[in-house]
Chains A and B, each alone.
Chain A
Amino acid sequence: MEHSIDDTSFRSLADEAAKRWPGQVQVNIDAPRSICLLGCDGGCLEDVCCWAFSALGYRFATLVVEEESEGWLLRYIFYGKSGSGQLHILLRSPKEECSIPSISGLVHAADWHEREAEDLFGLIFTGHPKLGDFVLHEEWPGDVKPMRSDFNARIPNERRELDPEWQPQSIVQADGAFMMPIGPVYSDMAESAYFALETVGEDVIRTIPRFFYKYRGVEKISEGLPVEQVILLSERFSGTSAFAHSLAFCQAVESIAGVDTPPRAKALRITLAELERLRHHVAAITGICGSTALLVATSQAGILEEEALRMTGSFTGHRYLFGLNTPGGLSRDFDNLACGKLADDVTALTERLCELNNMLRYSSSFLDRIEEVGAIQREQAITYGLVGPIARASGLDWDLRRTLPYGGYEEVAFEVPTEIEGDGYARLRILFREAEQSSAIIGKIARALPDSEIAKPFQYAAGKALGWVEAPRGAAFHWVRIAEDGVVSRYRLTTPSFTNWHGFHLAAENFAFQDFPIIMATFGLSNAESDR
């Protein structure tokens, strides 16, 4: 099969690593999961990560920090092009030793992961240029490390008095330069986030974002909870991509238990995931039309968005696909006739979406606003490890449904659209093209569902695994460890919004003030998804 995992690639990787660092790197293979595991010490960590990223062209997925009784376990997860599987680079460090060499100078995509681990675990990444003031804002006492096991997340937390003199840091030093703050409460109904726009007048030179106003500590409050409870958190920390994230979590749990979902559940999960992607993309298109103040187009897209929500509501009983994924399958079955009708409705909606696209393509005033706005070059997208429609608009054809096929996507034929310009218009075109692809996938799958049970009886097992999906906004990775007593002992969430907000400042540089909402809308990211 074209996209199946090449059984030899992660093995050859293991051989090569053993040859390059003899005696320094412990090599292991997890063949059923196509993972090459490399155990490193602090001395060769940078070399190994640099080799994976620069020489092999692997992408950085996530950094998972785990606190074990004897010390820290850091797991740097990389993945290669289609068929290469995953590479896990492990670093163990004694508990009292909190200094870890920073890799973000070589693998810049790890930058925010290291900053987060510094804030939440109190690890020091030596050589990192900027640590502190990231997840935890100034009201948290400096010595509180909320992800450590000795921190109790179930009792109210003591706060520090706020410093009324606190000012965000500014970078631009020039005559007449000033900072224009936006947020955390701004616009009509935007998500809470803060952006400091540094300007000398009309043009904004640099944007410094500050996030985590919505930090709910999902990773921490999941610890010690049974899987049934954590699945609620996994779908409700980001309501606009609830199905994708609960699917990633379920896949991790299923991988731990060694359960394969029935074919009907797989087909329906793909249908629902694509329905969510379609709805998300229509909502993002509405946002882009709205940001350019093209009112009729905004209304037209808004009509389609509400219709997609109603379609979802009438099909599943919930407008945002809550309560459907369950370990082993889905919580309810769907009638074949209803699935056929869904496919018809989706096709009809997509035709109207195409019509809207054709009208927008020839509206010069609209194109003037989004063309060459917020451009991200391909090299930048690689360096920052950007994912999803934003990366694909900059010429990267990475899509986890193809790169690391999961949950039945191996069998599905679809196109991964890419554009090269990387500007706002390229991102809009990607949204339209991906919506069409999602619609085509639903059309094919929902009309010919296999007959089988909808969920396998499920027995939880202890263990650890990575679950991943291509969420509507891009690659999402859920690392789950289940303890012997059946509760979740570590849940690490890496979301596409977190990954892509990291590169937002690249798009928000040297632009006119009035373009800010447009850059934001063409990024279409969620702070709920990023802040967790």
Chain B
Amino acid sequence: MSKWVLKGLRTGIVTTCYPDRDETAPGVSPGRPFDKESSIEIDRCPTKALVRYGRSISVDYRRCVHCFRCARGEQGLVQWQDGYEWAAHTDPSRESFSLGDVFRTSLHIRVIDAGACGACLSEIEQFNKPYYNIHRLGFFVTPTPREADVLLVAGPLTDHMRMPLMKAYEAMPTPKAVIAVGACALSGGVFGPSSYPVEAHPTVSPSTWPSPDARRRRWPSFMVCW
């Protein structure tokens, strides 16, 4: 078995330098539509995520599913901005929300798949892998809600997952918080509203489809108690 030890040592540390330096790995943030001067019809957006303010166009990141249709094609395109951090609070007037000093050094997270397509879950899995190694920042993924401070919900919340989600939430000790991951959990994404996936709970806080780094960066600042 010594070969594995040697292999590990030879590989060295691959973990990102974040938060000391910006994360610049490709695809970590796919960017966002942001255009100061555009005349396109915002109705073209299939999830109605584009928002017009006068001549400029911005995006409702609870709805944007990164279909890139406003960035590609032949007719009137929208400029995209790179490197945007896809995380925010439900209430725009609140810049940050803290659970309190109790969780300043460590936070336990129970991940709930409420109908996710697998991409968000795959991204969440990267947390514990060498490149991001979330432990070093005091975040721990826990298998039981009884130890969890935060429920991390991915997916549009299907009918069949409503009860398991509520049970998990009730099993958590207080204080507790819920974080929604991805446009599906926030607005139903491409699935909602329909009679199968339930529309996102209004007090679930937003983030969108982010990559691990984008999500991790601002966690402490966008939690909301249910």
B115, closest chain A residue (CB): A214
B68 at the binding interface (Cβ < 8 Å): yes
Do B113 and A236 touch across chains, with their CB atoms under 8 A apart? no
A511 at the binding interface (Cβ < 8 Å): no
Do B113 and A215 touch across chains, with their CB atoms under 8 A apart? no
Do A228 and B46 touch across chains, with their CB atoms under 8 A apart? yes
Complex Cα spacing A216 to B199, Å: 12
What 1/0 mask marks residues of chain A from 161 to 196 whose CB sits below 8 Å from any chain B CB?
A: 010000000000000000000001111111110000
B152, closest chain A residue (CB): A189
Complex Cα spacing A189 to B30, Å: 24
A514 at the binding interface (Cβ < 8 Å): no
B26 at the binding interface (Cβ < 8 Å): yes
B-side interface mostly: loop
**CB contact between B30 and one of A146, A191, A311, A317 (< 8 Å): that residue:** A317
Asked whether A236 and B117 contact (CB < 8 A) given A215-B160, A228-B46, the answer is yes
Which residues of A have CB within 8 Å of B72? Answer: 323, 331-332
What 1/0 mask marks residues of chain B from 127 to 150 whose CB sits below 8 Å from any chain A CB?
A: 011111000000001110100000
A19 at the binding interface (Cβ < 8 Å): no
Do B195 and A216 touch across chains, with their CB atoms under 8 A apart? no
Q: Closest Cβ of chain B: how far from A341's Cβ, in Å?
A: 12
List the one stretch of B49-57, B95-103, B118-126 in contact with chain A.
Answer: B118-126
Complex Cα spacing A192 to B155, Å: 11
Do B67 and A314 touch across chains, with their CB atoms under 8 A apart? no
A359 at the binding interface (Cβ < 8 Å): yes
User: Count the A-B residue pairs with Cβ separation under 8 angstroms: how many?
Assistant: 214
Asked whether A283 and B122 contact (CB < 8 A) given A154-B193, A189-B141, A323-B69, the answer is yes
Asked whether A331 and B73 contact (CB < 8 A) given A221-B194, A306-B126, the answer is yes
Do B155 and A312 touch across chains, with their CB atoms under 8 A apart? no
Asked whether A153 and B67 contact (CB < 8 A) given A214-B155, A319-B27, the answer is no
Q: Closest Cβ of chain B: how far from A137's Cβ, in Å?
A: 5
Do A310 and B156 touch across chains, with their CB atoms under 8 A apart? no
Do B143 and A187 touch across chains, with their CB atoms under 8 A apart? yes
Do A191 and B113 touch across chains, with their CB atoms under 8 A apart? yes
List the one stretch of A78-86, A295-303, A474-482 in contact with chain B.
Answer: A295-303
Complex Cα spacing A283 to B7, Å: 20
Do A185 and B25 touch across chains, with their CB atoms under 8 A apart? no
Do A310 and B26 touch across chains, with their CB atoms under 8 A apart? yes
Do B129 and A306 touch across chains, with their CB atoms under 8 A apart? yes
**CB contact between A318 and one of B8, B66, B69, B116 (< 8 Å): that residue:** B66
B112 at the binding interface (Cβ < 8 Å): yes
Which residues of A have CB within 8 Å of B5? Answer: 296
Which residues of A have CB within 8 Å of B164? Answer: 184-185, 192, 213
Which residues of B have CB within 8 Å of A300? Answer: 7-8, 11
Which residues of A have CB within 8 Å of B143? Answer: 186-188
Do B113 and A190 touch across chains, with their CB atoms under 8 A apart? yes
Which residues of B have CB within 8 Å of A220? Answer: 194, 196
Q: Closest Cβ of chain B: how far from A214's Cβ, in Å?
A: 4
CB interface residues, B 1-38, toward A, < 8 Å? 1, 3-5, 7-8, 11, 14, 25-28, 30
Do A191 and B118 touch across chains, with their CB atoms under 8 A apart? yes
Q: Which of A216, A305, A306, A363 has the most CB of B within 10 A?
A: A216
For chain A, the bracket of interface size reads 35 or more
Q: Which of B120, B126, B159, B165 has the most CB of A within 10 A?
A: B159
Complex Cα spacing A300 to B68, Å: 33
Do A214 and B161 touch across chains, with their CB atoms under 8 A apart? yes
Q: Closest Cβ of chain B: how far from A300's Cβ, in Å?
A: 7
Asked whether A213 and B161 contact (CB < 8 A) given A189-B125, A303-B129, the answer is yes
A522 at the binding interface (Cβ < 8 Å): no
Which residues of A have CB within 8 Å of B113? Answer: 185, 189-192, 214, 527
B219 at the binding interface (Cβ < 8 Å): no
A-side interface mostly: loop
A159 at the binding interface (Cβ < 8 Å): yes
B185 at the binding interface (Cβ < 8 Å): no
A460 at the binding interface (Cβ < 8 Å): no
Which residues of A have CB within 8 Å of B8? Answer: 296, 299-300
Do A159 and B190 touch across chains, with their CB atoms under 8 A apart? no
Which residues of B have CB within 8 Å of A322? Answer: 65-68, 119
**CB contact between A217 and one of B1, B68, B194 (< 8 Å): that residue:** B194
Complex Cα spacing A531 to B145, Å: 24
A294 at the binding interface (Cβ < 8 Å): yes
Which residues of A have CB within 8 Å of B223? Answer: none
What 1/0 mask marks residues of chain A from 217 to 252 whose CB sits below 8 Å from any chain B CB?
A: 110110000001100110011111010000000000
Complex Cα spacing A306 to B163, Å: 33
A151, closest chain B residue (CB): B195
Q: Closest Cβ of chain A: how far from B105's Cβ, in Å?
A: 21
A418 at the binding interface (Cβ < 8 Å): no
B189 at the binding interface (Cβ < 8 Å): yes
Which residues of A have CB within 8 Å of B116? Answer: 191, 214, 239, 528
A526 at the binding interface (Cβ < 8 Å): yes
Q: Closest Cβ of chain A: how far from B204's Cβ, in Å?
A: 17
Complex Cα spacing A153 to B131, Å: 42
Do A239 and B129 touch across chains, with their CB atoms under 8 A apart? no
Do A314 and B27 touch across chains, with their CB atoms under 8 A apart? yes
Asked whether A185 and B112 contact (CB < 8 A) given A239-B122, A299-B129, the answer is yes
Do A529 and B118 touch across chains, with their CB atoms under 8 A apart? yes
**CB contact between B27 and one of A191, A240, A318 (< 8 Å): that residue:** A318
| 7 examples of A-B residue contacts, CB within 8 angstroms | A139-B159, A139-B163, A155-B195, A157-B195, A162-B163, A322-B119, A323-B67
Which 6 A-B pairs rank lowest in CB-CB distance, beginning with the nearest?
A: A313-B27, A239-B119, A314-B26, A239-B117, A302-B129, A217-B196
B residues near A (Cβ < 8 Å) are: 1, 3-5, 7-8, 11, 14, 25-28, 30, 46-47, 65-69, 72-73, 110-126, 128-132, 141-143, 145, 155-156, 158-161, 163-165, 167-168, 189-191, 193-198, 211
A residues near B (Cβ < 8 Å) are: 137, 139-140, 146, 152-157, 159, 162, 184-192, 212-218, 220-221, 228-229, 232-233, 236-240, 242, 283, 286, 294, 296-297, 299-300, 302-303, 305-306, 309-314, 317-320, 322-323, 331-332, 359, 363, 365, 526-529, 531
